[in-house]
């Protein structure tokens, strides 16, 4: 049962990512033109985007410390950073494995109980969803009609024929059966119930840490800085290609929102990120082949950063703690 659930968690997002990557490639009308756009792009701005991205990850690691403080933990900055980057790296390999890996690293090297560390990561997600909501509201207010068009594109990509719907129904039935089995096991097996109760208690302790912040203004400031860097790393990419450097700000915000939705839909945004960014920008007259090329370059640069930085953190974190 556990094996089936694990396989579904990995296989479903992976299959969706492969399909969307094919969809993205198939949607390109002039593949030679896309290659030319990639070749003449100014990679200085792409590199600048990568720098802003790395800064956002480091700031996220700093912010995490403020969530751990109310529970009495003072992790070292570099351990917090390396755990964060290892989490991003693992998310690229196994969907949703990053959060578990990130908390596990802090348990191993900072002796923070796993469930509490994981709870603070969930608290971070709540804050980030709130911030994404703010960006979405601003974007919608500026261009409600365009947002509806983007939503329709997003829905069309997620919808399928009757066969696809049947597979979704089967998956839902299987997941429901597994959930029911878990509930039954909880009530009939005392050891399982004890472990689950301890886990839930720790998770709530981590989640509620956000309400017990000792440095709320610092936490809030770092949160806004993270999202400022997110938007900035996205915006500077458009200066790498002449055709996109003249687009108005509200068009770029819609593209940012589209890309964010893509990352939420598929871990890492594989395939879907370039499509949704391009779908947003063509509403303002941009050439689809040009903006999808930009989407792929941007996505590839950010993914390469996570791979390299994550691998470096995998190497350095155990050695730094051995020396300490």
- pLDDT, mean of residues 38-49: 86
Residue 256 domain boundaries: 2-6+41-323
3 state DSSP class of 244: coil
Q: What is the pLDDT of residues 200-236, one digit of tens each?
A: 665 566 556 666 777 888 888 999 999 999 989 888 9
Between residues 269 and 235, which one has the greater pLDDT? Answer: 235
Q: Kind and range of the H or E element at 205?
A: helix 190-207
CA angle (16 as vertex; 12, 18 as ends), nearest 5: 120
Query: 267 pLDDT exceeds 80?
Result: no
Long-range Cβ contact pairs of 63-66 (< 8 A, separation 24 or more): 63/124, 63/219, 63/222, 63/223, 63/226, 64/120, 64/121, 64/124, 66/213, 66/214, 66/215, 66/218, 66/219, 66/222
Instruction: Point out the least confidently predicted range of 5-9, 189-193, 280-284.
Output: 5-9
Do 300 and 21 meet the contact criterion of CB atoms below 8 Å apart?
A: no
Report the number of distinct structural domains present in the chain. 1
**Residue 295 domain-assigned?**
yes
- 34 domain-assigned: no
> Helices 31-40 and 288-323, interaxial angle, to 10°?
50
- The reply to whether 13 falls in a domain is no
Say which residue the tokens 């890492």 belong to: 268
CA distance 206 to 318: 25
Indicate if the pLDDT at residue 55 is higher than 50: yes
Q: Model confidence at 266, in pLDDT bands (50, 70, 90)?
A: low
Residue 30, in any domain of the structure? no
**Contact indicator for 293, 167 with CB cutoff of 8 Å:** no
* Contact predicate 69/214, CB 8 Å: yes
CA 307 to CA 315: how far, in whole Å? 12
- Looking at residue 161, its pLDDT comes to 43
For residue 29, tell me if it sits in a domain. no
Q: Is residue 269 part of a domain?
A: yes
Residues sharing a CB contact under 8 Å with residue 94, sequence separation 6 or more, in sequence order:
10
Buried b (16+ CB within 10 A) or exposed e, 6-21: eeeebeebeebbebbb
| 80, 65 contact by CB (below 8 A) | yes
For 105-120, how does the pLDDT look when each residue is reduced to its tens digit (9 = 90+)?
Answer: 999 999 988 888 888 8
pLDDT in tens, 176-187: 555 566 666 656
Report yes or no on 31 lying in a domain.
no
Q: Residue 204: inside a domain, yes or no?
A: yes
pTM: 0.74
- Max mean pLDDT among 31-35, 54-58, 235-239 falls in 54-58
């Amino acid at each position: 049962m556990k094996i089936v659930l694990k396989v579904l968690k990995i296989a479903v997002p992976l299959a969706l990512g492969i399909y969307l990557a094919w969809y993205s490639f198939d949607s390109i009308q002039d593949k030679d033109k896309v290659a030319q756009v990639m070749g003449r792009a100014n990679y200085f701005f792409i590199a600048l985007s990568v720098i802003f991205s790395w800064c956002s990850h480091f700031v996220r690691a700093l912010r995490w410390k403020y969530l751990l403080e109310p529970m009495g933990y003072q992790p070292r900055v570099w351990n917090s950073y390396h755990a964060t980057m290892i989490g991003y790296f693992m998310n690229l390999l196994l969907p949703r494995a990053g959060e578990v890996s990130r908390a596990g690293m802090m348990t191993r090297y900072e002796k923070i109980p796993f469930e509490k560390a994981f709870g603070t990561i969930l608290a971070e997600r709540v804050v980030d969803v709130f911030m994404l909501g703010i960006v979405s509201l601003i974007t919608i207010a500026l261009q409600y009609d365009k947002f509806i068009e983007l939503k329709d594109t997003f829905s069309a990509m997620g919808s399928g024929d009757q066969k696809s719907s049947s597979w979704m129904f089967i998956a839902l039935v299987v997941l429901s059966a597994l959930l029911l089995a878990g509930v039954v096991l909880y009530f009939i097996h005392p050891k399982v119930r004890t472990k689950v109760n301890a886990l839930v208690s720790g998770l709530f302790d981590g989640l509620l840490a956000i309400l017990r912040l000792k440095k709320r203004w610092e936490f809030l400031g770092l949160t806004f800085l993270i999202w400022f860097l997110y938007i900035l790393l996205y915006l500077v990419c458009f200066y790498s290609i002449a055709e996109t450097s003249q687009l108005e700000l509200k068009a770029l915000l819609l593209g940012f929102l589209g890309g964010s939705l893509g990352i939420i839909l598929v871990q890492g945004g594989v395939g879907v990120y370039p499509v949704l960014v391009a779908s947003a920008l063509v509403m303002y007259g941009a050439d689809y082949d040009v903006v999808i090329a930009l989407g792929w370059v941007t996505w590839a640069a950010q993914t390469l950063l996570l791979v390299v930085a994550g691998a470096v953190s995998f190497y350095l974190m155990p050695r730094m703690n051995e020396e300490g």
